[in-house]
Structure 1
Amino acid sequence: MHCKVLKLGDVWRTCNKIRAAIFRMGINLLEYFTRLDPHKNCLISESQFISVIHGQLGATIGLSEQEVAELADYFRVPDGRIYYTQLCDVINDSVPKFSQNDSIVTGLEWEDPLHTNRLSISEERRLNVLITKIASLVNMKKLILRPYFQDYELVSKNCGTVTIAHFARIMAYLGILLSADDFNLLVKKYLKDSYTLNYIAFLKAIDEIIQYLDAHGILDLSGDIMAIFPGRVINAELPKLPRPEIGKIMASRIFGIQNIFHPALEDPKKIEHILTTISMIQEHVLRNRLRVSTFFKHFDLLNSGRITVDQFHRGLDALALNGKQRFFLSLPDVQAIINQYRDPCDPKRVCWKTFEDDIDHIFTTKELEKYPSMEVTTHKRDNEEVPKVGSVNWQSVNKEQRSLCEDAVYKVKQKIIHRRILLKPMFKDFDKHNNGHVSRSQMRQALNSNGILLSDEELFSLEQRFKNDIGFNYVWFLKEVEPKPDDDPLYMDFVEDMKRLNAEPAKRPATRQEKDILQILAKIKGRVVRERIRVLDFMKDFDRCNEQVITRTNFHRALLTCGFELSCNEVETLVDVFASPLRQECVDYRQFADTVEEAFTQSCLERAPLIVPIQHVPTKDCEKNFLNFDERLILSVAMQKLSKKPDLKMNLSSVVADFDKTNCGTVSRTNFMKALTVRGMLNLISNNEFDVICKCFGFERGLRDEVDYRAFMRALDILYATDKYNPF
């Protein structure tokens, strides 16, 4: 019989497997064996040992049958039992205690949370400049960087590190623009574990730089680094900076331009250029009624009156694009304005407040309260044409050239009128940029293609009159040559319609019912009883001084608030009846309220305790229910015929109720006729009698007339009961 040689390495491997399983699951192996050893002699049978290892803990430990057999052979005593305590000691006592051991990597530099890589001297200088710029930007925008990095750390469970891609995304999201070389320099400095960056050290470096700049006075009030010299502070030791604008603001205006920053502009072309540009901007602002501060003040958060050059450029672009017509500013024009209003103490900033004052000079003059003797001239620029750059001053041209141009314009205008020519579509086809200008050759081609033949001298005079540095201004040319229609404006019909709609309606004469105060009060009392309205609550709010009277207008408003739906003539009747005897322009609303309250009770009952008040019973009758003498006779005869068959026999109410789907108590005239036909009651009356019944019990619901069948049934019951108990 072949027997396998037991090896100590196999048993030790099995013990390691048991040790790993029970420490992973938190199992106490000794408890499983002590349950099977009641005598506490540290020995159990082999079958019990196998039942614990292979049975109870088989799924947890995962030993094969061969491993269990080898383990049992190793810990078996001579009598065949298993020494389980020795097994538990081997498994539990041989585990290393890591908490009592010293750290092997203590003192190494990669364990430091603020660890950074070493760079060369030149790279360190570049990095310091870069970190200073980032710190200045962060301080100026009042940014807090740490939460953006901690959000990533909460997800990835890293210890103070983020990936390179996430670091780049955070920088881009915060608006911190870095070049490729600068970003690589940051990665080289703060790289850790070959793929992550130590953001803790990066944030600490930024905080240290901000604290240093703030402590040494290098930052200005806006949070940016001062451009002239560090530590610029106005105190007793350092003199104040020069203020060249003091005393020269009002004295140095040239057509509304403050010339305080450039007192000696020697080049007359530059002076003419800046004056022309400012005049064009003023004309654009005046025509579109724009407020200049709207486009610049959101850049100046501290209201210092100075913004950066890029911000001023963006504000000028927004100003030019606003309004009904866009305004074109070239780069030389923008640069000339920036140079004119550049801050003398900080070349990187522009004084936009001064620019605003110069542009607003077209509307008014600022700080007039400081100069009471100054004469203000009214600017009449609505109809003036601001000369364009490159155009000729037409007033200085000789008379022959001007007369030749006028003759050419007259010829073109006459041909357009007689031939009904439209030149605008032709010019629009050539104007690809939609700026209102075409070239001189395109102008000649447009005129020749429409059969307008002019001499070279006439064409040259037209070019001199309507050209500028952009091209031929065909918009001004068409205003001169195209005939102006004499059509009435389109809004005139609209104005007439609005006048007709808003006009007060003609007052119609009052009818007999509108003058009857009893019918009006009955209508009001019925509405009050049905809807439980307290009239006094709506009227006493208009009596602020508790005078017991209100004006006629307020009385009308109170009635509208109550919702009585009275006509103007009915309101006039109420006003005349309840007018105050001492003040005819007012109404005694207390008397009116007491009169309406008689629908519920009677006043002064304490003086007559035996009187029992009777509540007003509202009726649903209207003018359409009124019956004359002949109709009342016909109605009485018809009701007497129908009352011979009571509801107890005919059961008419159930049939009519089937037609009343909403259970509102009324049905249409057609359904009422069908119900009478089903019960055979329509044959008892004529068509005239049926019409009188429908008129008597009619009820207006919505926009149609219906029949109140419940009132009709009650009338039949009363007539039947009266006729039944009549002794005669």
Structure 2
Amino acid sequence: MVLPIFFVYECLLFQFRKMGAKCIKALNTARAKLKGRNLDIADFKEFLSYTNTRLNPEEMTLLMKTHCPDDKCFSFMDMMEKIRGTWKKHRERLVNFAFKKLDKEGSGKVSIDRVKEMYNAAVHPDVMCDRITKEEALQEYLDKSFAELDSVSQADFLEYYLLHYGDMVCETAFELRMMKDYKVQHDEYDVDNAINKVKLIVYKGRIRSREFIKQHDPLRHRLISDTQFARAIDLTKIVLDTREVKAICDNYRMPDEPLLRVCWTAFCDEIDTVFTYKEMEKTPLRNVPPIPPLPGLAPTRFMVGCKNLGLSKEQRVNFILKDIKKICYDRRLCTQPFFEDFAHGKMSCNVVGHVTYAQFGAALNSEAGLRILPADLKLLQEKYDDLNNGMCNYFAFSNEIDPFAPANQKKGPPPEPPRSPYPRMPEPPYHDPVPGNPDWKIEPHLLGGDKKPLMKRPKSPRPPGHEGWP
């Protein structure tokens, strides 16, 4: 029985997904052999053999008749578009942003170790329910994607997500997939900032968030709704805005659950790492840092901006800082005194080294006269809000900007002044104003003009017996 071409495509899609990493490698090899959008028939048969795809002669004839009418070249890319579809702009932008997050150097390729480092295995549904470990979830992802490759290119990254998740009907489901894999959202919001904000408040206030949240799950199913999660966070006196709550909920949401509820136990396990790690009785030799590695507690938080805004925003912030630094150097301008006027006055926010957003903008625009654009000022405020409480760390900002800050001073001896191209006049010989009397001293400066050097006459010795006279 010969299946219609549509069902042949479905069989190929099922087989390609089943092969996982081997299929991604086969597509990588076939992409290198492409001639435009076509592939030689021998290379196409080799591709089918490598992916263990078996078609009966009638189905193979139908496939060749559809995509190889002249019996010369097989239209491989047209067949793949029929099998996995094409990209929607919104989804393609999300995947490209995830790859840029991996590819910090901008080389177009990332190593497998970099993928292992950035993959968010902690929020895998089976990991959150304690069915498998993080290592098993990571290996499952690699076996499905890039385990057969030496390095991952952007084309391989796009091919994987289009092949496995291109047929998702709901846009929210695809966004949730990218969020759970690499913490990527459509507005480029970084969920780590919201999680670190909660960790910092919990650590300073010694808050046991689990005691407040478990009240909304009496049967201990590990799952609660978004409304219950927001209500529990409000009970802990942790102030979060709507965007931060949504980002945290999306990060710990169960994608296979019909109501898309939040796994609150995984959230509490992550937050409680500021005190200790889970299941220390199984790994008693595990090293627990005395201070949690948070941007608001970093030893260098008053030296540099420790908050990460994402790739695109960080590039823009670096450009703004470079421009401001040049202006301050040309004017010999120090910005820290302008911030000190706000920090030590009646309008002080009572946080060491911090001023409010409004004071930060007023110090730069009104006091220092830098005239920063509102969009750029908003980025700087977000960058130096290391405590995520609406206050900017002006110590870190001034240390990176001010030309006289210790971090901006050139190390080592100062450079020698340039030599003059003209010959140097010989110095006149030293003339002793009082020959034979070394007690006469010449002051190191001259009075100028035709006046003689200042000389100090030594005190004459007093006659014996008159030492007490004035």
Q: Same fold (TM over 0.5)?
A: no
TM-score range, shorter chain: 0.3 to 0.5
TM-score by length of 1: 0.24
User: Larger relative contact order (C-alpha < 8 A, sep ≥ 6)?
Assistant: 2
